[in-house]
Structure formats: structure tokens, C-alpha cells
Amino acid sequence: MPDLLSTLREATGPAHESLDASFGSLDLDKRGDLARFLAAHAIGLAPLFGTFSRFVQDRLGLDCPDYPAMLRGDLDRLGVGALPEIEGAEPSADGDGADAGTSYVICGSRLGLAMIRQKGYWGEAQGFRSAYMSDGRGHDAWKALVPVLRTGTYSAGQALAARTAALAAFETFSRAFAASARVQVRSDG
């Protein structure tokens, strides 16, 4: 049986590419697109963050940044009000390997943000610095997660639960991206 990291990469490849294409359609040099990007992250993280936070703290032994609070602060400063909820969103499953799958998706998204930070995004010249985008601790979580997925012992059932949870997390973020199109941004934000 391949290691869990390889299993998750293979299983989620198409979902990952599709979600990257959705988020990649935004021009992060524009205030409105950055607001939508951050809103989609906030909407998607809402049902998944509890599982992710527990996994990072309990399994990886790291402090988990409060990404929802960072996002809410960023969105408030950008003039984004209430966020839409995604239909049928349920918290991700805990334990039995599912938490590893959910964490794989969220830790991986933090790697993508590191690349975006290097390129830059709207706000730097306008005095806005995103707490969510600026936080670099996600890379530490990824570095701690990789050996857990590569060398950890997972039963077939746990591997299936991780795979299922990872695919569900990608679907949650895909639905969150669609919902973010309804986000209203005040011009005075």
C-alpha cells in the first residue's frame, strides 16, 4: 500500500487542479478579487477548521493559528459584511484518518498562499496587509504533516476515510468559491 501522502495526492489531483483554476481566475492585484479570495477561504474553512485545528495541535504538536479570526479581520478591513453559507455544509469528520485528509487540504492551501505572498497582492501600496495571507506558520504545519502522512501507519479504513475527507474538503472549498461570488464589498472598506 502506498504512503498516505501519495494516496491523497493521486486521489485529489483533479479536484485540486479544478479548485486552483477557480481561485486562479481571480486577479489578486484588484481589491474586489482579493476580497472574494479571502471570503472564499473564510467560507470554506468555517466547517473544517475545528478538525484541522485539533489535528495540528494534537497530532502535529503545533499551535494552530486562528485563521477564521484572521480572515474576519481582513474582511472587515476590506469592507466585506456577512458571508454566505454554503448549502449542506457539515463539519468535516474527526478521527479514523479523516482528520489527516482534511488537514492535508488545508495545509496544502497554506503552501499556495506562500507563493502568492511572493508575487504580491492588492493592498501593499494602499496600506493593507492581510493577516491571513501574511501568516507563514502554515508552512511549518505542512513540514510536520508530510512525515506523518509518509511514514504513519494507516489501516485501509483510515486511508479511505482520509481520502474521502480530503475530497470532501476540496468540494467544500469549491462550493465556498462559488458562494463567494455573492459577497458584497463596500467601496469605503
Rounded to 5 degrees, what angle do the CA atoms 76, 78, 79 make?
65
pTM for this model (two decimals):
0.94
Q: What is the 3-state secondary structure (H, E, C) of the chain?
A: CCCHHHHHHHHHHHHHHHHHHHHHCCCCCCHHHHHHHHHHHHHHHCCCHHHHHHHHHHHCCCCCCCHHHHHHHHHHHHCECCCCCCCCCCCCCCCCCHHHHHHHHHHHHHHHHHHHHHHCCCCCCCCCCCHHHHCCHHHHHHHHHHHHHHHCCCCHHHHHHHHHHHHHHHHHHHHHHHHHCCCCECCCC
Q: Is the pLDDT of residue 91 over 70?
A: no
pLDDT in tens, 41-78: 999 999 999 999 999 999 999 999 999 999 999 999 99
What's the whole-number mean pLDDT along residues 24-36?
A: 96
With cut-offs at 50, 70 and 90, classify the pLDDT of residue 90: low
Q: What is the pLDDT of residue 138?
A: 87
Instruction: Find residue 185's DSSP bridge partners.
Output: 80
Burial of 33 per CB tally in 10 Å (0-12, 13-18, 19+): middle
Q: How far apart are CA 69 and CA 132, in angstroms?
A: 9
Regarding predicted confidence, which is higher, 124 or 100? Answer: 100
Q: What is the pLDDT of residue 59?
A: 94
